[in-house]
Amino acid sequence: MADEREPRNPTLVDVAKAADVSVSTAARVLRKSGYPVDIKLKEKVDAAAKSLGYVPNLVARRLRGGKQGVVGLVIGDMLDAHYGMIAETVTQRAETAHSTFAMVCNMQRDPLLEIKYLRKLLEYRVDGIILAGGGFDQWTHHEALAETVEELKRAGTIITSLMPRNIEVPVFSADNEAIGLTKAQFIVQNGHTKIGILLGPARNQMTKLRMQAMTSHLSGCSVDYAIANIESTPEAGALGAAEMLTRNPDFTALICGSDAIAFGAINHLRAEGIDIPGRISVMGLGNTRLATLCTPALTTVEMNFDQAGRAALDFIASHDPSAAHAPGEVIPHSLVLRESFSRLDGVVPQDMAPFGARENAQS
């Protein structure tokens, strides 16, 4: 009778037997440890491993106390340009700078799915995780998120975040209060006194910090504003622009919480026959690819998402879990002036006066 047992995966012992070498020699060759091994023995081990179809068990290696060279990246929405920038940067740097594999998880704007992916990454015993999602609803299920993060940390996984999340992990992000102040000062210096503000979801720490800094400065400069919290998508941006035209038809500038929102808003305003920036100036946030695809090209704020992703990955690659309470890094931001924004006299600004001391410290 034929053996009906499922075939098992070949082991390091099998490779050593096939190559007629010791297990320690086979391990040194296959793990590329750098330990000196005769070239002929290396060739025998490599040939045996290829013949048997041997693949190293990285999870087992991690359980033995070593690193397996895998990091997890949890992004918010794969269709959103700024998350695409982060994923591209992290995956490229993982490969080129650290010989590491980046496992990308798309949480699809769902906080429960984010937690589910974190638990899956815990099962895979990844070396570290970059939280690059959560830009939507950061408050619902926050306690469950914090508990999961603490469990990962106890397992030796280094957790980093690319945005403030009210959890004890290193954060690699621009100063969101300074960004709000930068945008407010820019508006005031260009003479706009009636503006619409389309921000991302309200249940979000970044949005809250930017909004408070921006509206505080605008109120002190006697600027009238109307705010709407919407999803960070072009579709929502179009609807938000329509709402602002209804609520406050004589506003002269529209300040958006993302380039995606601004992209949709510009398309809607132009479809309504509104001149940009002659009648309404528009400003985005992020300096993603969408900013240059707009017509006219979008004035925005450079958030340096790529720099933040690289810094978080480098932190994971170069630190052990004892460094998990390090503060992270403040990533610089800057204005990017393009054709979608003008002063009230219709002139597109070229050089602006310095923005506050806090902003300059970050730029």
For 264-318, how does the pLDDT look when each residue is reduced to its tens digit (9 = 90+)? 999 999 999 999 999 999 999 999 999 999 999 999 999 999 999 999 999 999 8
Give the CA distances from residue 231 to residues 27, 80, 258, in Å, rounded to whole numbers and listed in that order. 51, 11, 10
* Confidence at residue 259, expressed as pLDDT on a 0 to 100 scale: 97
Q: Per-residue confidence at 186, pLDDT binned at 50, 70, 90?
A: very high
Please check whether residues 102 and 130 belong to one and the same domain.
yes
Q: Are residues 120 and 203 in the same domain?
A: no
The band of 231, judged by pLDDT with boundaries at 50, 70 and 90, is very high
Say yes or no: 190 and 297 in one domain. yes
Determine, yes or no, domain membership for 63. Answer: no
Q: How far apart are CA 329 and CA 175, in angstroms?
A: 10
Give the pairing of strands 328-330 and 171-173: parallel
Is 37 within a domain? yes
229 in the same domain as 352: yes
Coil, strand or helix at 246 = helix
Q: What CATH number should be reported for the domain holding residue 91?
A: 3.40.50.2300
pTM for the whole structure: 0.80
Number of other CB atoms surrounding residue 221 within 10 Å: 12
Across the range 61-67, mean pLDDT stands at: 56
Lowest mean pLDDT among 52-56, 142-146, 171-175, 215-219: 52-56
Residues 75 and 132 in one domain: yes
Average per-residue pLDDT in the chain? 88
**Does the residue 226 lie in any domain?**
yes
Among the listed residues 251, 264, 191, 201, the one whose alpha carbon sits nearest the alpha carbon of residue 221: 191
Distance CA 271, CA 295 (A): 12
Residue 218, pLDDT score: 97
Same domain, 181 and 144: no
What is the Cα–Cα distance from 220 to 242, expressed in whole angstroms? 27
In the chain, where do the E strands start and end? Answer: 70-75, 101-106, 128-132, 158-161, 171-173, 194-199, 224-229, 253-256, 281-283, 300-302, 328-330, 334-336
State the pairing for strand pair 334-336/300-302. Answer: antiparallel
- Is there a single domain that holds both residue 187 and residue 247? yes
The three-state secondary structure class of 266 is helix
Same-domain check for residues 170 and 237: no
What's the confidence (pLDDT) of residue 273?
97
Residues 16 and 84 in one domain: no
Is 5 domain-assigned?
no
Say what the pLDDT of residue 57 is.
Answer: 63
The answer to whether position 230 is within a domain reads yes
**Residue 7 located in a structural domain:** no
Q: Three-state DSSP class for 340? A: coil
Q: What is the extent of the structural domain holding 52?
A: 12-56
* 314 within some domain: yes
Structure tokens at 141: 């299920």
Number of domains in the chain: 3
Residues 279 and 149 in one domain: no
Residues 205 and 343 in one domain: yes
Could you tell me if 239 and 227 lie in one domain?
yes
Any domain includes 229: yes
